[in-house]
Amino acid sequence: MSETPQQPQQPQEPQQPPQAPPPGYGYPGGPQDAGPGQPDPGPYGYPQPGQPYPGYAHPGYPGPGYAAPGYIPPGTFTGDPQAPYGYDVLGRPYSEKSKIVAGVLQLTLGSFGVGRFYMGDVGIGLAQLFTCGGLGIWALIDGIILLVSDDKTDSNGRILRG
């Protein structure tokens, strides 16, 4: 039996933790390319679920520079009791009634004057009820006009919402 001579052991240096490569090395979009304040792009360079995409506004909120200061979108509640649904572009207050609902009611049940009753025009609604909507012709024309016009008002003088 022969013994192999043992080599003298040299002192080993402590292990250093692996260092991240400097920017520009490795796969593009890796964690090394994420700047300060940026979300970790995760695998394949895509942000992790639930984190916002850098440079994009949050969903449901307009980005900067898209709306003029003080601009109120049409149909927004402004707190004004005279205009519960805001104002149109000409400054006329919107009604809580819809012109689409009024037009469809007038086309389907116009011989009973239901579309006019919905709008608050009781007098015209009664006239259509007693004449069967002008034998259906008055109700048909009235329904079409309600759907295509932008200046029909309710009983309070407010523009019907579209």
pLDDT tens, per residue, the chain with 162 residues: 556 666 666 667 767 777 766 665 555 555 555 556 555 555 555 555 665 555 555 555 555 555 556 666 666 666 677 777 778 888 888 888 889 999 999 999 988 989 999 999 899 999 999 999 888 899 999 999 999 988 888 888 888 887
Side chain identity at 3, as an amino acid letter? Answer: E
Angstrom distance (rounded) from CA 143 to CA 149: 10
Query: Which ranges in the chain belong to alpha helices (H)?
Result: 99-109, 114-119, 122-130, 132-135, 137-148
How far is residue 47 from each of residues 50, 52, 54, measured CA to CA in Å? Answer: 8, 8, 9
pTM of the entire structure?
0.50
3-state SS assignment for residue 153: strand
